[in-house]
Amino acid sequence: MSAAHLDPTRKHDYVFLIDVKDGNPNGDPDAGGMPRIDPITSQGIITDVALKRKIRNTITLAHQGQPGFEMYVEEGIALNPQIQRAYHEGGTTEGDTATAQQWMIRNFYDVRLFGAVMSVGDQKKHAGRARGPMQLTFSRSIDPVTPLEAGITRVAPNKPEDLAKGKVTEMGNKHYVPYGLYRGHGFYSGALGVKASVTTDDLAAYWHAMTMMFDHDRAASRGEMAIRGLYVFTHDDAYGRAPAHKLFDLIRIKPLGHSEARSWDDYTDRINIDEDNIPDGVTLTRLID
């Protein structure tokens, strides 16, 4: 029998911890690429979209070529042609939105898990909208972070004419935070999962991607990023035995109260998981602890 957290017919609520050292976990294009922060609290923020991109990339690497594991939202691929495939490859007749939607759900992993709006483009050949059973929140740092900027130089100018004028370097900069521990929450609806025909293999792929997403998404700008905790509360039915926020309250991380954290070691003795008060009908799986 499969482990509880792999059962697609049950509700799952989960907490994840991500840390970054000397890197920019999620730059803000409206702020010149600076790390995202809450202007009131100075806590760092990582968007759900940034994490979903890493999850998609990891699953694509691990399941490339396998049926049902294509990605609808893929770098360098327009969305409308993806939708049209439901008609050209799936044999859907014009105007049969429901059949087109099922083809998209069956073939695209991210449509099946995250949902998608597929009503763009040709109004007679679209696939409507699919509700995804798996959702993520923004991740927020436990303590304030300190965004910094480092000046850098490159020994190769951009233009040949600059080289002819004697210019030998190009100036640039890198944005980073010295250290930050971020906490995020996620939700999986067993009821919606059944409707989308999510499988045990789908959930196994998702949890595996969560644990490995930073190992296959390295970039000089992101420094050292790692997932430090992944805790899954599994209910014994599709709808849940307790509200998600009450379960999340059972995992407490005591803030340092300042922005001087410089490593994971600063938090290891400040994490408390109150397993004694987990409600009946709910189990906790520590995928990363």
In residues, how long is the chain?
289
Kindly state whether residues 91 and 23 are assigned to the same domain.
no
Q: What is the pLDDT of residues 20-75, one digit of tens each?
A: 999 999 999 999 999 999 999 999 999 999 999 999 999 999 999 999 999 999 98
Helix 200-212 with 48-63: angle, nearest 10 deg: 110
pLDDT for the residue numbered 259: 61
Kindly state whether residues 123 and 142 are assigned to the same domain.
no
Q: What is the mean pLDDT of the chain?
A: 93
Kindly state whether residues 128 and 142 are assigned to the same domain.
no
Kindly state whether residues 35 and 84 are assigned to the same domain.
no
pLDDT for the residue numbered 288: 96
Q: Residue 221: phi, psi to the nearest 5?
A: -70, -25
Kindly state whether residues 9 and 113 are assigned to the same domain.
no
Question: What is the total count of domains within the chain?
Answer: 2
Count Cβ atoms below 10 Å from residue 179 Cβ, excluding itself: 24
- What mean pLDDT do residues 130-144 have? 97
- Whether pTM exceeds 0.85: yes
- What mean pLDDT do residues 6-31 have? 97
Kindly state whether residues 143 and 99 are assigned to the same domain.
no
Residue 216 resides in a domain: yes
Domain closes at, from 81, 97, 132:
132
Kindly state whether residues 29 and 101 are assigned to the same domain.
no
Kindly state whether residues 225 and 180 are assigned to the same domain.
yes
Percentage of the chain lying above the pLDDT 70 cut: 98
pLDDT for the residue numbered 247: 98
Kindly state whether residues 197 and 223 are assigned to the same domain.
yes
Kindly state whether residues 265 and 144 are assigned to the same domain.
yes
Q: With b meaning 16 or more CB within 10 Å and e meaning fewer, what string describes 18-34?
A: bbbbebbbbbbeeeeeb
Q: How large is the C-alpha radius of gyration of the chain?
A: 22
Domain closes at, from 132, 156, 184:
132
Helix 97-107 with 79-88: angle, nearest 10 deg: 110
Q: What is the pLDDT of residues 180-208, one digit of tens each?
A: 999 999 999 999 999 999 999 999 999 99
Count Cβ atoms below 10 Å from residue 178 Cβ, excluding itself: 18
pLDDT for the residue numbered 136: 96
Residue 61 resides in a domain: no
Question: CA-CA-CA-CA torsion for 68, 71, 72, 73, nearest 10 degrees?
Answer: 160
Distance of CA 246 to the CA centre of its chain: 22
Kindly state whether residues 87 and 37 are assigned to the same domain.
no
Residue 168 has pLDDT above 50, yes or no: yes
Residue 194 resides in a domain: yes
Identify the domain containing residue 103 by its residue range. 66-132
Secondary structure class of 229 (helix, strand, coil) = strand
Count Cβ atoms below 10 Å from residue 50 Cβ, excluding itself: 17
Residue 165 resides in a domain: no
Structure token pair of residue 108: 């695209």
Distance (Å, rounded) from C-alpha 80 to C-alpha 39? 37
Domain closes at, from 132, 159, 184:
132
Residue 206 resides in a domain: yes
- Identify the residue with better confidence: 21 or 164: 21
Residue 155 resides in a domain: no
Q: What is the pLDDT of residues 231-265, one digit of tens each?
A: 999 999 999 999 999 999 999 999 998 767 899 99
Residue 1 has pLDDT above 60, yes or no: no
Residue 286 has pLDDT above 70, yes or no: yes
Kindly state whether residues 278 and 220 are assigned to the same domain.
yes
Q: Is 49 exposed, middle or buried (0-12, 13-18, 19+ CB in 10 A)?
A: exposed
Residue 220 resides in a domain: yes
pLDDT for the residue numbered 62: 96
Return the H-helix or E-strand segment holding 35. strand 34-35
Distance (Å, rounded) from C-alpha 163 to C-alpha 170? 11
Residue 169 resides in a domain: no
Instruction: Give whole-number Cα distances, 249 to 60, 90, 245, 258, 275, in Å.
Output: 33, 45, 6, 22, 11
DSSP 8-state secondary structure symbol assigned to residue 236: S
Residue 113 has pLDDT above 60, yes or no: yes
Structure token pair of residue 104: 């998209």
